[in-house]
């Protein structure tokens, strides 16, 4: 899928596939954020979207994830779950529930650490409020040391 995306939206890119991106990102001096490199390596070992295990997980997974989140929230009388995250919105992607990520700070190596808020369907206003309140109190928003500036020409 990445190859199709690159062919369509970045036809002149030096990389043409996930394997190319991984190989380039793994080179010394490339300065890829370690958490992104780990994700690329993990993705390289996954099967195809036509595998039986993937199809079963895609069919049954969202309802199971929603039920698990609902149970945790209901059993503990919670409005939302808050968790550390450095890899994205996996719970939201698997459940379809709203998720709000904010920066939790950076570690001693300059690696960004996030905080994610997730709750049931149609709770976006509450999640925005929780995230905003956290940001105001924590004042944790920092540009990670390994994040290079994006040149303005990239957006053209």
* Contact partners, residue 61, CB within 8 Å, separation at least 6: 94
38 with 64, same domain: the answer is no
pLDDT of residue 60: 94
57 with 23, same domain: the answer is no
35 with 84, same domain: the answer is no
Asked if residue 150 belongs to a domain, the reply is: no
98-156 residue pLDDT tens:
999 998 887 777 777 889 999 999 999 999 999 999 999 998 877 766 777 788 888 76
If 0-12 CB within 10 Å is exposed, 13-18 middle and 19+ buried, where does residue 21 land? buried
Tokens of 76: 């503990």
Residue 84 vs residue 133, higher pLDDT = 133
Res. 89: pLDDT tops 70: no
41 with 66, same domain: the answer is no
Tokens of 73: 């929230």
Whole-number percent of the chain with pLDDT over 70: 94
- Position of tokens 């490199």? 37
86 with 134, same domain: the answer is yes
78 with 138, same domain: the answer is yes
pLDDT of residue 98: 94
- Position of tokens 């409005």? 79
Residue 76 vs residue 112, higher pLDDT = 76
40 with 55, same domain: the answer is no
Dist CA 118 CA 103 (whole Å): 15
Strand partners, 20: none
Averaged over 43-70, what is the pLDDT? 90
> What predicted TM-score, i.e. pTM, was given to this entire model?
0.63
37 with 88, same domain: the answer is no
pLDDT of residue 112: 75
Strand ranges in 1-156 using DSSP code E only, listed in sequence order: 81-85, 99-106, 112-118
Asked if residue 149 belongs to a domain, the reply is: no
Distances (CA, A) of 9 to 2, 21, 57, 155: 10, 15, 29, 12
Question: What's the chain's average pLDDT?
Answer: 87
Averaged over 15-38, what is the pLDDT? 87
pLDDT of residue 77: 98
- Position of tokens 């956290």? 134
* Residue-number span of the structural domain to which 61 is assigned: 51-143
Res. 75: pLDDT tops 80: yes
Q: Name the domain count of the chain.
A: 2
3 with 62, same domain: the answer is no
Residue 48 vs residue 11, higher pLDDT = 11
**Least-confidence region, from 21-30, 60-69, 81-90, 127-136:** 81-90
Asked if residue 155 belongs to a domain, the reply is: no
Dist CA 134 CA 34 (whole Å): 26
- Position of tokens 């190596």? 109
81 with 127, same domain: the answer is yes
57 with 101, same domain: the answer is yes
């Amino acid at each position: 899928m990445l190859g199709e995306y690159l062919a369509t939206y970045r036809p002149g890119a030096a990389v043409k596939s996930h394997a190319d991106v991984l190989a380039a990102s793994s080179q010394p001096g490339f300065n890829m954020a370690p958490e992104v490199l780990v994700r690329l390596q993990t993705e390289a070992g996954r099967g195809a979207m036509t595998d039986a295990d993937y199809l079963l997980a895609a069919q049954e997974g969202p309802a199971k994830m929603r039920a698990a989140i609902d149970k945790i929230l209901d059993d503990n009388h919670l409005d939302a779950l808050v968790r550390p995250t450095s890899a994205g919105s996996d719970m939201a992607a698997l459940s379809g529930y709203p998720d709000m990520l904010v920066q939790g700070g950076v570690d001693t190596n300059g690696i960004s650490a996030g905080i994610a808020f997730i709750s049931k369907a149609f709770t976006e206003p509450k999640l925005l409020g929780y995230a905003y309140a956290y940001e105001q109190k924590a004042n944790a928003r920092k540009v990670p040391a390994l994040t290079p500036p994006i040149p303005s020409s990239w957006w053209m």
